[in-house]
Structure 1
């Protein structure tokens, strides 16, 4: 892994995918704890997968509007490094989770238009990182991982006081353009690496990470 673009592979569900993501240069490995998702993990499976993550890679737990009881069970059983909040958590809830659990918090904010941008600044005041994602369509069952992109020009040249990560519809074919348009130094991918929901493909992971590396030297 270089000091350039940092890649998060999210929605890992099996040991082979975890090993491939780690071997190929991911900086973050994401595990989903949301029953409606095809990438959802029970705590026992997640603990086993997290135990095999090499030192130095960040283990990220994606949750959606989880209450304190669920979060306590999660952090007690699974050795995660970052809590990713991917629901409708307001800034006050983000701050409370960060204070209570003592872990860095990454807050996902969905973007579809200019009206969604103020929420990024609001959450940047309380979160350790932002994840700038495509806003799910109305009625969608999942808050993320839908394979949708947003107009990247909306955040071109915008910066926040905390590190941020670009997500939403990224693939090996478009990630370099997304990086150029937004200036992102971190990118997140989930469904774009799959042969079926929840099934990651090592060859796609390799192509995606290679595409971000090409962008670094252009």
Structure 2
């Protein structure tokens, strides 16, 4: 397992925004590759480093525990590092490449690209060339995708092909559109939060399973071509 372990024919799955131990147990039982924990206090899915540590303790080895942060202060970073045994950093704010490197301090990290008209993904990826991956999300005011999709045609075809091994597609994915996204972009992984919830921060095992089934069906359809 692991979010950025690129395997042809198997799209990696990250479920994000966990706040409850029962939801973590359900996700672990479903065999996903990564769980995300939101350390952004303004988010309704925020968890403290102490709560995250308890939740991560329920995860098996090999499953990525992802820290989602937005312009974190040095104090916030240190508190997270001191308490939560994370394996991957996910930067969603205005962090510079140098700041991402400093915070991750040798650990792999992913930079969110907030996609909208006029956004130059090629220049962005060159600027953040040391990122282990790029999470492609919808631009909204504030931070995060808020469950919104974006126009996938904004992703240059050649760029998508050359970077498929480190692309994580996000932004309003659900059982109805994730198959199209996988077929079109063939990303390393997909990331979802809103469409697997019954309320913000509260996951549904049935919705999680349905999303995973949609991903695996998409993989099987591509393999049969």
Provide the TM-score with structure 2 as the length reference. Answer: 0.88
Matched-pair contact (CA < 8 Å) for 1:61–1:84: yes
Runs of 5+ in structure 1 lacking a partner? none
Please tell me the root mean square deviation across aligned C-alpha atoms, in Å.
1.9
Residue of structure 1 aligned with 2:38, choices 32, 37, 42? 32
In structure 1, the partner of 2:121 is: 117
Task: Choose 156-165 or 195-204, whichever is displaced more.
Answer: 156-165
Matched-pair contact (CA < 8 Å) for 1:153–1:181: no
Residue of structure 2 aligned with 1:203, choices 195, 199, 206? 206
Task: Choose 29-38 or 176-185, whichever is displaced more.
Answer: 176-185
Runs of 5+ in structure 2 lacking a partner? none
Distance 1:178 1:66, change over 3 A: same
Matched-pair contact (CA < 8 Å) for 1:121–1:160: no
In structure 1, the partner of 2:85 is: 79
- Mapped pair 1:214 → 2:220: no
Q: Encode CA deviations 1:138-164: one digit per residue, 9 max, x unaligned.
A: 3x4xx1140101011222532338612
In structure 2, the partner of 1:58 is: 64
Residue of structure 2 aligned with 1:174, choices 172, 177, 187? 177
Matched-pair contact (CA < 8 Å) for 1:105–1:127: yes
Q: Secondary structure at the match of 2:211?
A: helix
In structure 2, the partner of 1:105 is: 109
Q: What is the Cα deviation at residue 10 of structure 1?
A: 0.4
Q: What is the Cα deviation at residue 217 of structure 1?
A: 1.1
Distance 1:19 1:79, change over 3 A: same
Corresponding pairs, count = 212
Matched-pair contact (CA < 8 Å) for 1:145–1:190: no
CA separation in 1, counterparts of 2:216 and 2:47?
A: 30
CA separation in 1, counterparts of 2:138 and 2:123?
A: 13
CA separation in 2, counterparts of 1:38 and 1:164?
A: 26
In structure 1, the partner of 2:163 is: 160
Q: What is the Cα deviation at residue 215 of structure 1?
A: 0.7
Matched-pair contact (CA < 8 Å) for 1:124–1:160: no
CA separation in 1, counterparts of 2:118 and 2:168?
A: 18
In structure 1, the partner of 2:146 is: 146
Q: Secondary structure at the match of 1:150?
A: coil
CA separation in 2, counterparts of 1:109 and 1:145?
A: 10
Q: What is the Cα deviation at residue 185 of structure 1?
A: 2.7
Matched-pair contact (CA < 8 Å) for 1:59–1:81: yes
CA separation in 2, counterparts of 1:45 and 1:116?
A: 37
